Amino acid sequence: MGGGFVAHIIGAYGGFRASMRQAMARKTGEENLLALVAFGSFVVFLSFLPTLFATDLRDNPDQSIAGGVIMWFFVVMFFLPLVLYGVAALSHFIARRFGATGPYFNARHALFWALAVLSPVLILKAMLGSIVLQYGGANAGVLGGVLNLGLFAIIVWIWASMLAEAEGFRSTIKVASGIISVFAVIYALLFGISLL
């Protein structure tokens, strides 16, 4: 990842597509993508900690939360990268059906760079979520839902911007709509299965 990595993340908020163009121009290798996905996965793990601490301390104040932390670390650091590689493959497969011109490497790069760029947002959401969980009272569920919806919108927009640039699409809005549509279909399938 090298020097200036944090500066590149902060600079990405000046223009996500331009940030992806710059990232692709750096001629990143597969080892850099592995470093990106490891960094992103670690940030996701860190983003779970405030909520995990708040939940466990509220529900089980006398019990150690070390077991929960170790379990989350294992799940996130070992399984999330595999899931992300699968998501990148699926996004590339679907994008090719709509005229994408980029290789699969670009789809992986877009997803992993988007996750790295999302790191400040994930940490901020985790802190706000912890505050809502501890002090939200009767409105904690609603406020948490609003936070999650806002986070989902930011994730979709950043990832769509990166993917549109990486796959050669002009419209970020169309890519974002496609991502939301795929999530909606998956959610409907999962929800339908759970009702059976």
Mean pLDDT of the chain: 88
Residues 5, 81 contacting (CB under 8 angstroms) = no
Q: Which residue has the higher pLDDT, 153 or 68?
A: 153
Q: Provide DSSP, 180-194.
A: HHHHHHHHHHHHHHH
Quote the pLDDT of residue 69: 82
Q: Tell me the average pLDDT across 3-27.
A: 91
Quote the pLDDT of residue 64: 63
12-26, 63-77, 78-92, 98-112: least confident range: 63-77
Phi/psi of residue 74, each to 5°?
-60, -50
Render pLDDT for 81-110 as a digit per residue (tens, 0 to 9).
999 999 999 999 999 999 998 899 999 999
Quote the pLDDT of residue 130: 82
Residues 122, 141 contacting (CB under 8 angstroms) = no
Render pLDDT for 123-167 as a digit per residue (tens, 0 to 9).
999 888 888 877 877 887 888 889 999 999 999 999 999 999 999
Quote the pLDDT of residue 94: 94
Residue at 195: amino acid letter: L
Give burial (CB, 10 Å; 0-12/13-18/19+) of 113. buried
Residue at 169: amino acid letter: F
- Model's pTM, two decimal places? 0.87
